Amino acid sequence: MSFDISHPDVRAAVERALSEDLGSGDITTDSCIAADAHAEARFIAKQGMTLAGVELLHLIYDSVELLKKSGDRVTAGEELARVRGESRKLLTRERVSLNFLQRLSGVATLASRFVDEVKGTGVRILDTRKTTPGLRVLEKMAAAAGGVTNHRMGLYDAVLIKNNHIRLAGGVRRAMESARKSGKPIEVEVRTRAEVEEALACGASRILLDNMTPDEAAIEVGLIDRRAETEISGGITLANVRAYAEARPDFISSGAITHSAVAVDINCGIYPLVV
């Protein structure tokens, strides 16, 4: 999985991050580092991880050598990339580079752990829209680098009728009948047997079983019996995802993959060069 660094949202996120950090200039670097000095930066993994976002270095620096790619599983001590250029540029962009690599690799690492937990069940793990504002495309790419399947990118690319839609529309049937004009397959979130049966009767393409126990979900998956795709969500963690996978849904979605990922430890050492 490589990052699409040509994506406008990706390029905009990098530009915003650089502008936010640099502001009117790096007064520390400019005051103590010669303008004509050159250096090499080496990015090193300080722990085991699934790497994500290393391709962004091409948007941040001029001379980049990638030694690993997004989706690679690396161990502590492995070198990820080398960057050469003006010492001042390497110093002023070091924190932005690490912020992206550490955050995105944290997402990919957690995503890969979810995928590992359900191995052998045939269940596919999905991410959600519970992403950092402004970083959705990047975090979705990181989740995919970890092996999960991206769910909808936003409200514009899929129909997902949730509990609040059902309440405001006046029931599952009314919500689905209105949503058919979109021309897209319809997924419906359900919480009761009655809602499951109504969604099936109305021809839902996918039924989202929300906030059920693994045993409850297994019963509903059996009732649905492949008449629609099934997805389980609500409170999914690394500790319980395997139990939910044993219910044999088609998909399990977890917001934790993005909203609860912990940044990994990556070091950037910068060394002088003689040019």
Residue 149 is part of a domain; what is its CATH number? 3.20.20.70
199 and 229, same domain (yes or no): yes
Nearest by Cα to 201 from 222, 176, 184, 220? 176
182 and 107, same domain (yes or no): no
151 and 250, same domain (yes or no): yes
Please give the tally of structural domains in the chain.
2
Q: What residue numbers bound the domain in which 139 lies?
A: 120-259
Q: Is the pLDDT of residue 137 over 90?
A: yes
**Using one digit for the tens of pLDDT, what is the confidence trace for 19-31?**
999 999 999 999 9
91 and 130, same domain (yes or no): no
**CA-to-CA separations, 189 to 192, 225, 256, in angstroms, rounded:** 10, 17, 19
Q: Is the pLDDT of residue 1 over 60?
A: no
Q: Is the pLDDT of residue 228 over 70?
A: yes
Q: Is the pLDDT of residue 2 over 80?
A: no
169 and 254, same domain (yes or no): yes
Mean local confidence (pLDDT), 177-203? 94
242 and 268, same domain (yes or no): no
105 and 139, same domain (yes or no): no
What pLDDT is recorded for position 275? 63
- If pLDDT is split at 50, 70 and 90, which confidence band does 3 have? confident
Q: Are 241 and 111 in contact (CB under 8 A)?
A: no
Q: Are 111 and 257 in contact (CB under 8 A)?
A: yes
User: Who contacts 194 (Cβ-Cβ below 8 Å, separation ≥6)?
Assistant: none
- If pLDDT is split at 50, 70 and 90, which confidence band does 106 have? very high
Q: Are 114 and 148 in contact (CB under 8 A)?
A: yes
124 and 173, same domain (yes or no): yes
Extended strands (E) in 51-134:
63-66, 73-74, 79-86, 124-126
97 and 38, same domain (yes or no): yes
Whether residue 1 is contained in a domain is answered as no
Whether residue 127 is contained in a domain is answered as yes
- Here the CATH number for the domain that contains residue 42 is 3.90.1170.20
125 and 48, same domain (yes or no): no
Helix (H) or strand (E) holding 268: strand 266-273
User: Per the structure block, which two tokens stand in for 26?
Assistant: 């790096």
49 and 175, same domain (yes or no): no
**Using one digit for the tens of pLDDT, what is the confidence trace for 261-273?**
999 999 999 999 9
Catalytic (active-site) positions? 95, 130, 162, 189, 210
Angle at which helices 136-145 and 8-22 cross, to 10°: 110
Q: Are 78 and 44 in contact (CB under 8 A)?
A: yes
Whether residue 25 is contained in a domain is answered as yes
Q: Is the pLDDT of residue 64 over 90?
A: yes
Whether residue 3 is contained in a domain is answered as no
69 and 134, same domain (yes or no): no
Mean local confidence (pLDDT), 206-223? 97
